[in-house]
Amino acid sequence: MKRVPLPSDLTNPIQLADWLEILALNSADGNASHADLQRSLNRFGAHNKDELCTGAMMELNKRTVAAGENYPFMFSGTLLSLKGDWQEFTPYIFCLLLSVCENKKKRVTSINHELMFEQLSCIAASNYIGGNVLRFGSPRKELPAAFGDALLHVCAEINEWSFPSGKRVLHRKDDGLDLVAWKPFPDRQIGKLVLFGHCASGQDWGNKINELRPDVFCSRWLGGDKSPVVKTFFIPYRVSPEMWDFHAIAAKLFFDRCRIAYWVKNDDFTKVTKRANVRWCRRIFDTVWK
């Protein structure tokens, strides 16, 4: 078994549940249990051990519901067990590792984890509404690199706005817009559901939740919002029940780790990243927990 140190905040059931998941992933038998957590808390001299363990177990149970069949583990109430090869559950595993690793430890040579998180979020958004999606975030690969040219492409695809080709854009990279998803009609007329999404994979996600304002973006660049544009916000983290409403009110359509994993098939994520998702996760396993 690899050494998996307890999280810094022993009072946080989300961090304790993350610890149990990482422990199961790094254990030879693919298991982690209530007893494992209790023993570690005993060694650490933690107070209220029973209460802390109960909170972690409740959080794990919520994850089994929220992520559905795409949750990588089976949970009996006290025993957490891997369902199989972790490589078959990379949407959830990738988000878990983004959550527990310090920002500097997420950097893997030649693999852009922030780009991959945007790609993952695109799949989740598209599947959730049953529509189409374009990744707009910088650096752009699927769209033209220049901000104005990328907006022209978005307008042509969605047929909702007409970005003036001569408009000065002041070298904007993406102006907070990482993805656009929409539910089209066959007639291609205006008046459709559109999502504007912002993705935040870093630990400072709470400071970025208000960076994207669809009404401002549309007024600034697209001549106003003609159809209902729904703000969406994507994070690889879990949010406590006490703070969910507070953040969701700002995020509007809020995708956390489990909501993202629920809507993404592993094969789709692996295909769009050309298996970079697997290579990144394996690298994190090999370097963070030795």
pLDDT band for 163, please (50, 70, 90 cuts).
low
Q: Is 149's pLDDT higher than 90?
A: no
Peptide bond into 236 cis (omega under 30): no
Task: Decide which of 146 and 97 is more confident.
Answer: 97
Q: Per-residue pLDDT for 120 more than 70? A: yes
- pLDDT of residue 168 exceeding 70, the answer is no
Is residue 240 within 8 A of residue 71, CB to CB? The reply is no
Can you give the pLDDT at residue 223?
84
Residue 245 has pLDDT above 70, yes or no: yes
Per-residue model confidence (pLDDT) at position 98: 97
Predicted TM-score (pTM) of the model is 0.95
* pLDDT tens column, 169-193: 656 688 899 999 999 999 988 889 9
Q: Residues 133, 179: contact at Cβ < 8 Å?
A: yes
Amino acid letter, 44: F
| φ/ψ of residue 233, rounded to 5 | -135, 130
Alpha helices in 67-203 (DSSP H): 90-100, 113-129, 147-158
Average pLDDT (17-42) is 95
| pLDDT the model gives residue 194 | 96
> What three-state secondary structure class fits 239?
coil
Residue 167: predicted pLDDT: 61
Question: What percent of the chain clears pLDDT 90, i.e. is strictly above it?
Answer: 77
Give CA–CA dist 256/236, Å, rounded.
Answer: 6
Q: Is residue 165 pLDDT above 60, yes or no?
A: no
SS (H, E, C) 227-257: CCEEEEEECCCCCCHHHHHHHHHHHCEEECH
Could you tell me the domains of the chain? 13-107+280-288 (no CATH), 113-265 (3.40.1350)
Nearest C-alpha neighbor of 239 from the set 249, 228, 231, 229:
249
Which of 254, 233, 232, 235 minimizes the C-alpha distance to 245? Answer: 254
Cα 221 from Cα 159, distance rounded (Å) = 15
Per-residue pLDDT reduced to its tens digit, 56-72: 999 999 999 999 999 99
Chain centroid to CA 151: how far? Answer: 24
- The DSSP bridge partners found for residue 74 are 81
